[in-house]
Structure 1
Amino acid sequence: MLALGAGLLLALAGGGQQGVVDGPGRFCGYGPVIDLRAGERIKLGQGGIHSGRFRWKGAFGSLDVMGIQWGSPPPGEARKQPTAAGQTLFEAWREGGRHVVAIWNGSHGVAYFRSPRPFTPAQMAAIERVSLFDEAGAAPEGCKLRTVFVWG
């Protein structure tokens, strides 16, 4: 378990150690749902009830992700075509010297992906695989790896 502030603990269900989960398997945490492929890894960062951060690594490189289960639509221009996972993808922008891309599920689920360099086609293909759930009654299925919040 990872301590995350005043009385809140984060536990990993499904075999994570020291805040790291390895694929393959479905990861459901902080809003993003990712079917991790063999060799892909998620290292959990800070989190809370409504959101959390993690680093996602794989053959595509590395992405810093902020997932939010109770958020609003990202700023900027949405692309017309949904992602392969059915999410709305927003055009990339720069923030604090980093490149940012966001997806939104049309309700309250949103995820921001950050990279120090422009996104590669492989990173964009990985982002296309991500779906989102939110606190408005969604319950993703088949989650082998997930974050579970426990008041302590």
Structure 2
Amino acid sequence: MRREQREADFTEFYVARRAALRRTAYLVVRDWHTAEDLVQQAMVKVYAAWPRVRRDSADAFARRVVVNECLSHLRRRRDVPVEELPDRAVHGAEASPLDVGAALDLLAPRQRAIVALRFLDDLSVADVAHALAITEGTVKSQTAKALATLRTHLPQLVLTEESR
């Protein structure tokens, strides 16, 4: 494949998938700027491997690289700088009754990745297992634990069979 054609194919793929990959990365790392940076880092790796990537599995490959970059980033991260420290914790009526972001922060990074892939990207259990290189049983058990945590902290959030 000629270099110009390969670059055109990659550019077309990147433009088409950039927003979805960034959303997935955001749910894992919980910061838009970091998600953008991690998607960029992942795309450098995808570009390097592009001549070997099958076009029918390019989306799955890119998603796996992005999620791996996110999880690696979270393992390396120690402290998150904040502009101001809170004076006190927010409890009771002051807390947002449906703060999905705060509830997602309670999940372990891999659980957030699984929730993002299962419910944002609408992947099957098998596809998530393949993307994260884990067993289907692990996907199922981690999904159940994550949903239990979310239900505990978001009692107003009702998951119906239609939303699964």
TM-score computed with the length of structure 2 as normaliser:
0.24
> Larger % of strand: which?
1
Structure 1 or 2, whichever has the larger Rg, is 2
> Larger % of helix: which?
2
TM-score computed with the length of structure 1 as normaliser:
0.25
